[in-house]
């Protein structure tokens, strides 16, 4: 009888420590933290990001993606992380998040935008025209009919041009 009691007690303890239950709670807790931060990180009056809350949001998105890499929500959170990082001027984090998405989540619905934005960030924030060209060309190869394809073609033509050269080009094209 005592052995049966110990067996039942052991089984109950094993079930209560089940990783699925604790993981689900952890997942729900992380989503709740992210939802709360998302609601508070934008200052509506100033139309800007609260940098402290944005940094907390970035950390929360990273934690979720690292904790649940197989979850499709991880790709969306990494996309949001990229946008927030760009918004606070952390361009390296923004770019690496997009690179993470393209390498780990090839079926993500916003994957074409991730490829395009990699080119744009390389061009705009890092002034790396060679990398920008590679990213834009990769985007065009994979998504030639995407709504951003014409933008990518135009941006490739403008790579390395000065502002004056760009203005002259647009004036000539508008005639």
Domain boundaries, the chain: 34-174
CB-based burial label for 12 (10 Å; 0-12, 13-18, 19+): exposed
pLDDT, residue 23, reads 59
Angle at alpha carbon of residue 161, lines to 163 and 122, rounded to 5°? 100
CATH fit for domain 34-174, picks 3.40.50.720, 2.40.128.20, 1.25.40.10, 1.10.3720.10: 1.25.40.10
pLDDT, residue 99, reads 98
Distance from C-alpha of 155 to C-alpha of 164, rounded to nearest angstrom: 15
CB-based burial label for 20 (10 Å; 0-12, 13-18, 19+): exposed
pLDDT below 70 — which residues of the chain? 1-24
**Quick one: tokens of 70?**
């197989």
Is the pTM higher than 0.85? no
pLDDT, residue 24, reads 64
């Amino acid at each position: 009888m005592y052995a049966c009691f110990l067996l039942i007690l052991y089984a109950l303890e094993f079930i209560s420590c089940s990783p699925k239950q604790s993981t689900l709670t952890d997942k729900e807790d992380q989503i709740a933290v992210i939802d709360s931060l998302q609601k508070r990180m934008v200052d509506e009056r100033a139309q800007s990001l609260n940098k402290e809350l944005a940094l907390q949001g970035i950390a929360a998105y990273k934690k979720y993606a690292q904790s649940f890499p197989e979850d499709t929500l991880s790709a969306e959170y990494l996309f949001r992380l990229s946008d927030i990082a760009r918004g606070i001027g952390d361009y390296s984090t923004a770019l690496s998040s997009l690179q993470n998405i393209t390498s780990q989540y090839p079926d993500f619905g916003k994957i074409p935008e991730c490829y395009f934005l990699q080119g744009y960030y390389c061009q705009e924030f890092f002034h790396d025209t060679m990398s920008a060209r590679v990213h834009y060309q990769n985007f065009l190869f994979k998504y030639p009919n995407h709504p951003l394809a014409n933008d990518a073609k135009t941006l490739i033509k403008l790579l390395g041009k000065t502002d004056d050269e760009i203005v002259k080009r647009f004036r000539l094209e508008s005639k």
